Amino acid sequence: MTAAKRQLALNVFLTRHGHHPGGWRLPGSPGGGNPDFNYWANLVKTAERGKFDAAFFADFVGQSGDEVADIERSPRGQGFEPLTLTSALAAVTSKIGLVATVNINYNEPYNVARRFASLDHLSGGRIAWNVIASYAAGAIKTFGVDDVLEHDLRYEKAGEFIDLAKKIWDSWDDGAFDHPDKASGKFLDASSIHPVNHEGKYYKVNTYLDIARPIQGYPVFVQAGNSDVGREFAAKYAEVIYASAQTLEAAQEFYNDVKGRLKKYGREDDHLKITPGLSYHLGGTEQEAHAKFDALQEAVDLSGRINFWGYDLTGYDLDGPLPDLPEPDTGRGRWKQITDLAKAEKLTIRQLILRYSVVRGHRVVIGTPEQIADKIEDWFLQKGADGFNLIPPLLPGSLDDFVDQVVPLLQKKGIFRQEYQTSTLRGHLGLPRPANPYTKA
């Protein structure tokens, strides 16, 4: 049997105005932040028209009432709660995967397992869970958290959370509800249920799920982490990584390192898709593309409070160097990227904000559709990436442009699908469906 040809994975990270902080000020942006489901539905339908694997929705849950100094000059009201939004989007789409972010620190395993099982059935097997365990300052105050775990213990807690969620999803055999016997009055076979009795370091649970096992077995697990412990966590649990790299060499180092850790967990290379973030700026000519990028850069407002990675840099000379700052307890891998970049290129605060904050350390490509497609193909073929999580600078226009102008070129190159061949997100990504370990042969 001939091995299946490796195919590019494409996800899109959707926000209210696009990812560039100056984007909301430009023509073509929706402007305000009032909830508008049709806006989000149209974005996801565009991505589905482009045969994307999934649409990705972040969640920055919890805003402290003490931190309102910059609220006037920063877009707010950017989106719905992800699980609620993906539930609605599942009803108006049929193929594209939907990635919802849920923070384990403000949830319980049973509730999360139940919600994702429900969503997987509602969507026909198209849901993914972006697992995060961060403690943002605003969220800590919102939820009244007193026992903030240090960095490595957060991953330990997240691991137990996922292990427990899997047990809950596995508490029913596949097909447990498929054979009701009306004549005998036997609705199901009691041997098909596997109650969960778990007592670990962080959670104590005695339960079983009140809905059938998910169509996909488990939702697809998505994760973003660049520290060493984050990479190890990804090798054990993640099936898609939202990574960051600005050079092919850095991307290949991350790719080889994380893929090299898979075997110890009994996993194959293609069981994990590495998808760096990609910010792109398209134009009919290279000059036009750079002009679009420059217009976005010029729209970035640096006149108010300068909040950089949670540090208030107001009062520092914007044209001076980044001051020595302590390593944050969240996002250590990204923090190392940013400080290394600042030192290596001797960037001022202004330059660093315009270089890093606008895309949070991800790669920026500027050029014609052909140039963008060539750069994507280069990283894919040289195994710097299995695909990309697109971060459009200005929505909805940037997504329309990519679908209409770049996707056909990727299809012509033979590295991206012409049509969906499956109906589930696991199917799109070529990921195995996990068997229920409790099910009898």
| b/e map 197-224, b = 16+ CB within 10 Å | eeeeeebebebbbeebbbbbbbbbbbbb
Helix pair angle (369-381, 248-259), 10° resolution: 40
- The pLDDT value recorded for residue 99 is 98
What is the Cα Rg of the chain in Å?
22
Q: Let me know: does 7 contact 386? Beta carbons within 8 Å.
A: no
pLDDT tier, 76 (very low <50, low <70, confident <90, very high otherwise): low
Mean pLDDT of the 118-140 span = 91
- pLDDT tens digit sequence for 127-136: 999 999 887 7
Q: Which residue has the higher pLDDT, 308 or 113?
A: 113
CA distance 353 to 304: 14
Q: Residue 441 above 50 pLDDT?
A: no
Mean pLDDT of the 105-129 span = 97
- The pLDDT value recorded for residue 298 is 83
The number of CA neighbours under 13 Å toward the Cβ of 422 is 16
pLDDT tier, 225 (very low <50, low <70, confident <90, very high otherwise): confident
- The pLDDT value recorded for residue 134 is 82
pLDDT tier, 2 (very low <50, low <70, confident <90, very high otherwise): very low
Nearest to 280, CA basis, from 403, 198, 179, 176: 403
For residue 93 the two structure tokens come to 């789409």
SS3 annotation, 220-284: EEEECCCCHHHHHHHHHHCCEEEECCCCHHHHHHHHHHHHCCCHHHCCCHHHCEEEEEEEEEECC
Share of the chain above pLDDT 90, in %: 65
CA distance 307 to 333: 19
Q: Let me know: does 129 contact 170? Beta carbons within 8 Å.
A: no
CA distance 381 to 99: 26
Domains of the chain, first to last: 9-288+361-429 (3.20.20.30), 301-357 (no CATH)
Q: Which residue has the higher pLDDT, 87 or 440?
A: 87
Q: Which residue has the higher pLDDT, 288 or 64?
A: 288
